[in-house]
Chains A and B, each alone.
Chain A
Amino acid sequence: MSLTDDLPRFTALSARLTGFDEVALESTGLTGTYRAVAEEQLGTERYTRLVRELGDPGDAMDGELRDAARAVTHLWYTGSWPGPPPFVVSPRAYAEGLVWKAAGLKAPATEPGGYGSWADGGDLSRPGDEVEGNGR
């Protein structure tokens, strides 16, 4: 199997594992990189089984496949392969970690929001609460 052929399969698999759609994943610019990391770290055989056999991640998976699926999901969410030993793929991978997107945040040191941005975040009130903040 050639390296590029199964990229769409890898992306589709990644979308099912992560809960982010293929457009969102492709916009990170990392699908090809992560595909390569996954194959290298899992070994071609396990990698191939993963992209071929995994229909729904909730389906009964054997232990080996489940671990592989977790590793790939972890990679997408954090930009690092879980190891052992763990490693960060690249500064870009760190910045694109889906964990930050899931929380509506930016990875620290990558896309600062500007002076005072840490104060924002919408309404502070809960029903029945009077809100003043401390005004600064």
Chain B
Amino acid sequence: MTRYDVIVVGAGVAGSLVAHRLGGHGRRVLVLEAGAAAPASHEPSADPLTTYLTASAKVPGSPYRAHPAAPWPEVTDLSGTEASPGFRAVGHLRQDGPLAYASGYVRVNGGTGNVWTGLAPRMLPEDFDTESFGYGRRWPLTYADLEPHYRAAEAELGVAADADEQREHAGLPLPDGYVFPMRPLPASRVDRLLAARLDGRRVKDPASSCEVELRVVGTPHARNGVPDPRYDGGRGYVPRGRDGRPEPGNRCVGNASCVPHCPSYAKYTPLKTQGRWSPTVTLRDRSVVSRVLVDGRGRATGVEYRSYDGQVSVAHADVVVLAAHAVENARLLLLSRLADRSGQVGRNLMDHPVLLTWGLLPEDAGPYRGPGSVSGFEGFRTGRARRLRAPFRIELGAWGWAWAKGSVDSDVAHFLTEQGLFGAELRRAVGDRVRRQFTLQFEMEQGADPANRVTLHPRERDPLGLPRPLVTYDLDEHVKEGMAAARAVSDQIFALLDAEDHTDYSPAAAWPGRFSYGGRTYGYRGAGHAAGTHIMGDSAATSVVDAWQRCWDHPGLYAVGCGSMPSVATSNPTLTMAALALRSAERVEADLAARDRPGHLTPPPAPSAPQAPTPPSPTRGAST
């Protein structure tokens, strides 16, 4: 049997990046992926685009068909009910909490990273310590520790953004002279409309009683725009197309289908990283890892995995990196009964619960023509108000009411069925309705709370016989206070815009995430940003992984991904996760290099504190 240096479990964003970095060092890496890389000979060979186009419900997993042996939770597994607890969950991810955990993920090769939106902002320096605001958990590293890795992640994902704008209006202390690989994407029509009407206007935050100035700010995007010739000391950047091939002219062309599939391959997906893997990296798909193996002293020695027909195999390596997504990483650690000295495995599950408000502008909003959201309002993310309510980032939704109401089919049904329109009247009403639609997406920070957790279901098993994940989830007062403030901000924005507010969290069935607070009903969606299930910290007694994402009691075992994040703050988390994964890859490489050094018979002592010497950081844009 081939002996590997490293086994990576899961070929999503995190796993693909770790394998890429280690393969680049000549390491023999086996990537075990639960999902399918391509249809088998007896399966329909529909490509993701056709599958998506012909799907009735254009949900995130719609370009793919799940194999029963590697199921995933889809948003359609959840429905709202009138009776308590107000929702019902079927399918892979079961739930028994007071409120619905409303996010899913995808188990095919490339993972959820195939279907993500591709918004790639950094976290802010103060986000790494929310304890000073009275909630959540402190990171064992700082923004400054992560900064070089953010740059490396921006190179790997190919990020388009404006450094000056990020400095000035998002509050990021970017190094002087830093430029992103690509120039910022042009603002969408709705961004320009809102900027024209709202920039410089002030709204009141009812939680802090402070006034906040509105300003439309471009969001960093992991999708191809115009390369910035100043990047990397003037060497520039070459956009990557399908399978990561250099394609200087590849651009986002406005397909408006980033979730779940970009037909022009402008959006970053892990398949682009996989296309650049060295020949020392081997992908084995349809391989569902079911257990991590350790020796008598707790050191990781390999994994046990199953093919779709249930056959069990074993693979060995010096290092095992779990990169199976926050929920599945926790499930794997629980299945293996490992790394749980702190009792925190599976706990502290976080997401960005998203309050949506939607309406009609007085004029054409130009919906459904570019990325799902190009810009946002950044003024509610920082500062003292965080003590009083959850902070939030406001994304300007550019796909009409799609996230709130489903596809435009529901607009057609509304005029046909509820209003009884036909002919010219119908055509006018539908056209006017769709053209003027816009949505505000308030992404709330949710702090780490050990009560929000993933466990193994006591009875339900998947077709391979593995217990299904069970989630217990709730939103605390801090988040609800944030949503109440967000709604009040929304009301003021709608008034300033002369917009007709159509926000209405009914019927109950369409809103599994719903609660009443202070006499008002709120509906929320899940952003897909699962985090916190193998939380990072500076002590084995209170956390699952250390600052390098190593499981405390198991040399050679890493758990990487958003699961390690002690706070999700208000940034979409994947860029931060990618930076952490690249940083961990360097740590793994340093471990392996120490192993290979002549005369070194025992593994080097693990650097215990996060202040331990950092392995050399990659230079900006040096990844190839």
Give the residues in chain A near B257, CB-CB below 8 Å: 108-109
Chain A contacts with B in 4-53, Cβ cutoff 8 A: 16-20
Is A85 positioned at the interface, with any CB of B under 8 Å from its CB? Answer: yes
Chain B contacts with A in 322-365, Cβ cutoff 8 A: 362-364
- B48-56, B482-490, B563-571, B615-623 - the one binding chain A: B48-56
| Minimum distance in angstroms from A33 CB to a CB of chain B | 14
Across the interface, do A136 and B186 meet the contact criterion of CB distance under 8 Å? yes
Query: In the complex, A15 Cα to B184 Cα: how many Å?
Result: 44
| Minimum distance in angstroms from A27 CB to a CB of chain B | 16
Query: In the complex, A90 Cα to B50 Cα: how many Å?
Result: 9
Q: Count residues of A near B (Cβ-Cβ below 8 Å).
A: 56
Across the interface, do A99 and B366 meet the contact criterion of CB distance under 8 Å? no
Is B514 positioned at the interface, with any CB of A under 8 Å from its CB? Answer: no
Is B195 positioned at the interface, with any CB of A under 8 Å from its CB? Answer: yes
Query: In the complex, A131 Cα to B417 Cα: how many Å?
Result: 39
Give the residues in chain B near A126, CB-CB below 8 Å: 362-363
Known: A19-B423, A118-B370, A121-B366. A74 touches B412 (CB 8 A): yes
Query: In the complex, A136 Cα to B417 Cα: how many Å?
Result: 41
Give the residues in chain A near B255, CB-CB below 8 Å: 108-110, 112
Closest chain A residue, CB of each to CB of B256: A108
Across the interface, do B424 and A136 meet the contact criterion of CB distance under 8 Å? no
Give the residues in chain A near B254, CB-CB below 8 Å: 112-118
Query: In the complex, A20 Cα to B375 Cα: how many Å?
Result: 36
Across the interface, do B423 and A134 meet the contact criterion of CB distance under 8 Å? no
Known: A119-B192, A134-B199. A16 touches B434 (CB 8 A): no
- Choose among A57, A87, A134 the residue with the greatest number of B CB atoms under 10 Å from its CB: A134
Across the interface, do B56 and A87 meet the contact criterion of CB distance under 8 Å? yes
Chain B contacts with A in 420-464, Cβ cutoff 8 A: 422-428, 430-431, 434-435
Give the residues in chain B near A119, CB-CB below 8 Å: 186-189, 192, 370
Across the interface, do B408 and A134 meet the contact criterion of CB distance under 8 Å? no
Known: A119-B189, A134-B195. A105 touches B216 (CB 8 A): no
Query: In the complex, A120 Cα to B374 Cα: how many Å?
Result: 14
Chain B contacts with A in 581-612, Cβ cutoff 8 A: none
Across the interface, do A104 and B369 meet the contact criterion of CB distance under 8 Å? no
Is B395 positioned at the interface, with any CB of A under 8 Å from its CB? Answer: no
Across the interface, do A134 and B426 meet the contact criterion of CB distance under 8 Å? no
Chain B contacts with A in 219-235, Cβ cutoff 8 A: 225-226
Across the interface, do A77 and B430 meet the contact criterion of CB distance under 8 Å? yes
Give the residues in chain B near A64, CB-CB below 8 Å: none
Closest chain A residue, CB of each to CB of B50: A91
Chain B contacts with A in 183-213, Cβ cutoff 8 A: 184-189, 191-193, 195-197, 199
Is B263 positioned at the interface, with any CB of A under 8 Å from its CB? Answer: yes
Query: In the complex, A73 Cα to B195 Cα: how many Å?
Result: 38
Closest chain A residue, CB of each to CB of B192: A133
Closest chain B residue, CB of each to CB of A89: B54
Across the interface, do A88 and B189 meet the contact criterion of CB distance under 8 Å? no
| Minimum distance in angstroms from B414 CB to a CB of chain A | 11
Report, as a range, how many residues of chain B touch the other chain.
35 or more
Query: In the complex, A116 Cα to B192 Cα: how many Å?
Result: 13
Query: In the complex, A86 Cα to B185 Cα: how many Å?
Result: 36
Known: A113-B254, A118-B189, A118-B398. A17 touches B434 (CB 8 A): no
Closest chain B residue, CB of each to CB of A69: B422
Across the interface, do A91 and B427 meet the contact criterion of CB distance under 8 Å? no
A-side binding surface: helix, strand, loop or mixed? loop
Query: In the complex, A64 Cα to B610 Cα: how many Å?
Result: 71
Query: In the complex, A116 Cα to B504 Cα: how many Å?
Result: 32
Known: A73-B426, A91-B50. A134 touches B363 (CB 8 A): no
Query: In the complex, A58 Cα to B362 Cα: how many Å?
Result: 29
Across the interface, do B225 and A115 meet the contact criterion of CB distance under 8 Å? yes
| Minimum distance in angstroms from B355 CB to a CB of chain A | 24
Across the interface, do A109 and B371 meet the contact criterion of CB distance under 8 Å? no
Across the interface, do B55 and A88 meet the contact criterion of CB distance under 8 Å? yes
Is B251 positioned at the interface, with any CB of A under 8 Å from its CB? Answer: yes
Chain B contacts with A in 68-118, Cβ cutoff 8 A: none
Is B295 positioned at the interface, with any CB of A under 8 Å from its CB? Answer: no
Across the interface, do B56 and A80 meet the contact criterion of CB distance under 8 Å? yes
Give the residues in chain A near B261, CB-CB below 8 Å: 109
Is B252 positioned at the interface, with any CB of A under 8 Å from its CB? Answer: yes
Known: A133-B187, A133-B192. A77 touches B412 (CB 8 A): yes
Across the interface, do B408 and A99 meet the contact criterion of CB distance under 8 Å? yes
Give the residues in chain A near B424, CB-CB below 8 Å: 19
Known: A58-B422, A108-B255, A136-B186. A118 touches B366 (CB 8 A): yes
Across the interface, do A109 and B430 meet the contact criterion of CB distance under 8 Å? no
Across the interface, do B422 and A113 meet the contact criterion of CB distance under 8 Å? no
Across the interface, do A99 and B425 meet the contact criterion of CB distance under 8 Å? no
Across the interface, do B435 and A104 meet the contact criterion of CB distance under 8 Å? yes
Is A62 positioned at the interface, with any CB of B under 8 Å from its CB? Answer: no
Across the interface, do B218 and A109 meet the contact criterion of CB distance under 8 Å? no
Across the interface, do B186 and A116 meet the contact criterion of CB distance under 8 Å? yes
- Choose among B251, B367, B407 the residue with the greatest number of A CB atoms under 10 Å from its CB: B407
Across the interface, do B253 and A17 meet the contact criterion of CB distance under 8 Å? no
Q: Name B54's contact: one of A94, A118, A132 (CB within 8 Å).
A: A94
Give the residues in chain B near A106, CB-CB below 8 Å: 368-369
Across the interface, do A78 and B370 meet the contact criterion of CB distance under 8 Å? no
Closest chain B residue, CB of each to CB of A123: B363
Across the interface, do A57 and B423 meet the contact criterion of CB distance under 8 Å? yes
Is B416 positioned at the interface, with any CB of A under 8 Å from its CB? Answer: yes
Known: A20-B427, A105-B369, A122-B364. A117 touches B253 (CB 8 A): yes
Give the residues in chain B near A60, CB-CB below 8 Å: none
Known: A105-B368, A118-B370, A126-B363. A133 touches B196 (CB 8 A): yes
Across the interface, do B196 and A131 meet the contact criterion of CB distance under 8 Å? yes
Give the residues in chain A near B413, CB-CB below 8 Å: 74, 82
Is B409 positioned at the interface, with any CB of A under 8 Å from its CB? Answer: yes
Give the residues in chain B near A73, CB-CB below 8 Å: 416, 422, 426
27 residue pairs A–B, Cβ–Cβ below 8 Å: A17-B422, A17-B423, A18-B422, A19-B423, A19-B424, A74-B413, A99-B412, A99-B430, A109-B261, A110-B53, A112-B256, A113-B369, A115-B253, A116-B185, A118-B189, A118-B370, A118-B398, A120-B366, A124-B193, A126-B362, A126-B363, A131-B196, A134-B191, A134-B195, A134-B216, A134-B218, A136-B162
A→B interface (CB under 8 Å): 16-20, 57-58, 69-70, 73-74, 77-78, 80, 82, 85-88, 90-91, 94-95, 97-100, 102-106, 108-110, 112-122, 124-126, 129-134, 136
Closest 5 CB pairs of A and B: A118-B370, A19-B427, A102-B431, A109-B257, A133-B192
